[in-house]
Chain A
């Protein structure tokens, strides 16, 4: 098993002092993993991300970064390690040109200007944003803005990246592009955590799935295990991914080899069925 980079134990957080947005959430993050976080709206995913990044201080509970306990005053350390790409790009973009926007995070890290400039260049190259560098963010399309927000976080060189529903406002081409970026980031060894409502994406992409419900993490494990837990699915109002559903129905009729694992893509399923023929 990979080493644990971040561990949250029994986190409680309330915005208004009455209703708990986090109600005893516990979750481990493993180095370099791809974790998909599922759950209905208001289940506590975004609040959890904000705690993990150090923006919010949990009312109760412990957070460990690399095995070290993070006290309330050390929350600043968290945003150096974990970066959030917010759901709504317009809530994140603050500067008036793309290059200035990307420089905001590194400047806050109080790095020397030459280092900031270098990181900005790298992040702009990585997200293919060089042609837009001097443009104002309000002239960009939704997909371009999303890329800017990812470049923002890349420039901070965090090794844990949290994406809050990144596919929500993207067209299919934008989603494809996003997935390519996620693959590259994964290959670079970063820990990726994505909250999403797209079950098919979560199944295809993630190494592990965590399911949030009413401020708690009800389950965390391999995608197939989590999605096959019908009681969990019913309780959290989630549905299994299409491919897994089709696979299980085919398996029930004996169309797939016994004991075969469900493939992650339609191509994989076709290969499996072809071999059977």
Chain B
């Protein structure tokens, strides 16, 4: 139980459980080590068909689309963003549509609940166009509010799609290198880089500790689980500290002198991609104007 909660903590939200099925279709045996959710999103990014796109371009595409989707504030634009990005992920990225919808399900649940809260009002007397009698009060809404809530949910879903475009096609280290290029202090980018690597190292270690505790009935009931979780967490800290020393030794052994440098694979920007992006954005803007 605690193990899933840790991996959920490391992913953004509750996507962990839904995505473990996605990479099966690719037929890669890489998930043998562990089926953690955070690994699956990461894995998708590494084997995405859009992995060879220029990472800076993908950031611009995602953020630009996100901005247009938010600024346009029209359901038709949001729908277009959702549909086009889903198509792109499917055709170019190679993510199965069912898997992609599965990924969107978790944020969708939150958005729908939030949308419901926006659309409905609680009143002691029936009000608006519809009211649902419940013991002691009425749940009421009217056309305008429902329309507004729908637009809001679609807009948010469009924004999530735009972010997924980035998350599912770009590896964390590429994102960091883009941030480095836009002059984020190297202290921060290097910290992000190492944190990213350490997540997997520690997740691995935690997995082994979890199994070792399980082998001694460490998770048999709530009290024992709490104690085991506390113990493994404390142990993880000690291991992390020791690991950090080993790491710094290993880095010094290869001539590390205070700045992390790696050779980056060249991923050229393609003209066709830029052209299509401009077409896409123009179409979105045209829709916005047409929608009035």
Contacts and interface: CB of A to CB of B under 8 A. Distances in A.
B262 interface: yes
Interface string B31-43: 0110000010011
A80 B204 CA distance: 32
A26 interface: no
A206 interface: no
Interface string B247-281: 10111111111001111110000000000000000
B246 interface: yes
Nearest to B248: A55
Contacts of B194: 94
A96 B265 contact: no
Contacts of B193: 96
A55 to B, nearest CB: 5
B206 interface: no
Nearest to B259: A108
Contacts of B204: 90, 138
Interface in B119-161: none
A81 to B, nearest CB: 11
Contacts of A135: 30, 46
Given A138-B201, A139-B43, A100 B264 contact: yes
B46 A139 contact: yes
A99 B265 contact: yes
Given A86-B246, A91-B243, A96 B171 contact: yes
B252 to A, nearest CB: 5
A225 B81 CA distance: 76
B197 interface: yes
B200 interface: yes
Contact of A55 (B32, B173, B253, B260): B253
Contacts of A138: 33, 39, 200-201, 204
A109 interface: yes
A120 B249 CA distance: 22
B250 A91 contact: yes
Contacts, number: 107
A152 B254 contact: yes
Contacts of A137: 197
Name the residue among B51, B193, B252 with the largest chain A CB count within 10 angstroms: B252
Interface string A106-135: 111100010011001000000000000011
A94 B39 contact: no
Contacts of A54: 252-253
Given A91-B243, A99-B265, A83 B254 contact: yes
B110 interface: no
Contact of B263 (A76, A88, A113, A153): A113
A20 interface: no
A52 to B, nearest CB: 10
A80 B254 CA distance: 8
A88 B246 contact: yes
B238 to A, nearest CB: 15
Nearest to A133: B265
A273 to B, nearest CB: 44
Given A86-B246, A134-B51, A138-B204, A99 B254 contact: no
Contact of B30 (A97, A116, A139): A139
18 contacts: A54-B252, A79-B254, A83-B254, A90-B201, A91-B243, A96-B172, A96-B193, A99-B263, A99-B265, A104-B254, A104-B256, A107-B263, A108-B255, A113-B263, A135-B46, A136-B171, A139-B43, A153-B254
Given A96-B173, A100-B173, 7 more contacts: A54-B252, A88-B246, A90-B201, A93-B197, A96-B172, A104-B254, A109-B255
Interface of B: 30, 32-33, 39, 42-43, 46, 51, 171-173, 193-194, 196-197, 200-201, 204, 243, 246-247, 249-257, 260-265
